[in-house]
Structure 1
Amino acid sequence: MTDYLDTPEARRIAYNYTPGKGPGVVFLGGFRSDMEGTKALALEAWARAQGRAFLRFDYSGHGVSGGQFDEGAIGDWFEDARDAIRALTEGPQILVGSSMGGWISLLLAREHPEHVAGLVTIAAAPDFTEDGYWAGFDKETRHQLEAEGSVQIPSDYGDPYVITRRLINEGRTRLVLRSDLTLPFPTRFLQGTADEAVSVETAVRLIGHAQGDDMRLTLVKGADHRFSEPDCLALIETALEEVLGALG
């Protein structure tokens, strides 16, 4: 059953929480995705079978949460994740971050390490507003964004994405690949080689940049950005089990 959390920032966040033993698992979805996706539901089923606590939620402007997507930015969604973890879970959690959720999870690890017991990322997209969108815009598109406040770009997932000036500018205050990033807990990065949204080079850059004693990157030949085929879902579960095993 979907419940709702009213956050200190006056946002209404939809969530589903499965009680169980700790450390719990929190799924952090991607840009314009929601908590009803294949990976979120598969991990919820895995957690239920394990008797482990599990939280999935929609960022503001996503899914059935309140707010408008076009008004949001990375910092807003980071706050949503932080507030949900603080209000709805107990003790440090294992974060599973998909795409943008990977960036959000890294922000949580940097800003609130007390909430993080371990980390699994799936096609993590740190700094994508700067290194993906802004870097890929030509001069005319950048001018339009600055002058009009937004641009539309094609999406492989349906309607065009609206990219706002605020998304780009606010994202610059949340970058994680330009300064120290310490991950002092078991960390597993998963990445498909056929991912057209996040490159293998990004995954290699991330593991090269981050500091930690227990980090591994797994590349899956032929896997795309969705990373939702049965063998990919099994790999996510295996990564979670590795993190749990390392935690003892």
Structure 2
Amino acid sequence: MTDIQYLDSPHGRRLAYAHTAGQGPTIVFLSGYKSDMEGTKAVHLEAWAKAQGRAFLRLDYSGHGISSGVFEEGCIGDWAQDAQDIIEAVTTGPVVLVGSSMGGWISCILTRRLARVVGFVGIAAAPDFTEDGFWNGFTDTQKAEVMEQGQTALPSDYGDPYIVTRRLIEDGRKQLVLRSSLPMPYPVRLVLGTGDTAVSVDVGLRLLSHIDGPDVRLNLIKDADHRLSEPSELKAIEAALTEVLG
């Protein structure tokens, strides 16, 4: 296991990360909403990269894992900035972004900011979920709670309820990526399970249609759920990453 290090970011946050040196481009794993860099996919892909002598970076956004901050006080813009700060401080040269769930949205944001992105793998990527998932699925009562009381609680299949804040919703509207074309002039692979109850196949197809690039493919895994952490699913992610790395 790679040693954990910390970056005191220019935005006042203490951010944890694990960086393995090796052959470039650096693979950057961006985890999901309420997830962290100790998740199955992050650790598995780190070991896979190490075995090939490839550079690898995984990280915790603020309010996630062992980075500073309170999760409920954060938003998409904060977490995208955290990822950018670590990438810029720790890596040099080309990077391939591997984004899981919310990390797929953050990857899409970073492709617009970082000129050295040379590939993207989306794992059950969940772009724009605060608006198209949370807000559009809220009842009038929940919308009122968010706007008037500042938050509402949603049940989760993965543990404690999700606390959805007004700041998360309002910031999310500034970060939307599925309202215009997403230029990605490099290999892109999207991996999604047909049994995913958090990110539907329709979302995957919508992202596919918005990405403007010469080599973009969506790989659907029958009956797989949102985690995509079974051995056969991890093999599919490895294969997608191998294609992107060329």
Alignment of 1:1-248 (within 5 A): 1-112=3-114, 114-245=115-246
1:82, distance to aligned residue in structure 2 (A): 0.5
- The superposition leaves residues 172-205 of structure 1 with CA deviations (integer Å, 9 ceiling, x where unpaired) of 0000001221111110000000000000000001
Task: Output the CA distance in 2 between the equivalents of 1:238 and 1:156.
Answer: 28
Task: Output the CA distance in 2 between the equivalents of 1:199 and 1:138.
Answer: 20
TM-score normalized with structure 2 length? 0.98
Structure 1 stretches of 4+ moved >4 Å = none
Q: Name the SS of the counterpart of 1:111 in structure 2.
A: coil
- The superposition leaves residues 55-82 of structure 1 with CA deviations (integer Å, 9 ceiling, x where unpaired) of 0010000000000001100000000111
Task: Output the CA distance in 2 between the equivalents of 1:86 and 1:103.
Answer: 19
Task: Output the CA distance in 2 between the equivalents of 1:115 and 1:149.
Answer: 38
Task: Output the CA distance in 2 between the equivalents of 1:20 and 1:209.
Answer: 33
1:115, distance to aligned residue in structure 2 (A): 2.8
**Identity over aligned residues, as a percent?**
60
1:15, distance to aligned residue in structure 2 (A): 0.6
Amino acid at match of 2:31: G
Task: Output the CA distance in 2 between the equivalents of 1:8 and 1:115.
Answer: 21
Amino acid at match of 1:78: A
Task: Output the CA distance in 1 between the equivalents of 2:161 and 2:245.
Answer: 39
Task: Output the CA distance in 2 between the equivalents of 1:165 and 1:196.
Answer: 24
Unaligned runs of 5+ residues in structure 2 are none
Task: Output the CA distance in 2 between the equivalents of 1:244 and 1:139.
Answer: 46
Tell me the C-alpha RMSD between the 2 structures: 0.6
Task: Output the CA distance in 2 between the equivalents of 1:135 and 1:115.
Answer: 34
Task: Output the CA distance in 1 between the equivalents of 2:116 and 2:72.
Answer: 29
Task: Output the CA distance in 1 between the equivalents of 2:131 and 2:22.
Answer: 38
Tell me the matched-pair count: 244
TM-score normalized with structure 1 length? 0.97
Task: Output the CA distance in 1 between the equivalents of 2:191 and 2:90.
Answer: 27
Task: Output the CA distance in 1 between the equivalents of 2:238 and 2:89.
Answer: 25
- The superposition leaves residues 190-233 of structure 1 with CA deviations (integer Å, 9 ceiling, x where unpaired) of 00000000000000011011111010000000110000000110
Q: Name the SS of the counterpart of 2:112 in structure 1.
A: helix
Task: Output the CA distance in 1 between the equivalents of 2:244 and 2:159.
Answer: 35
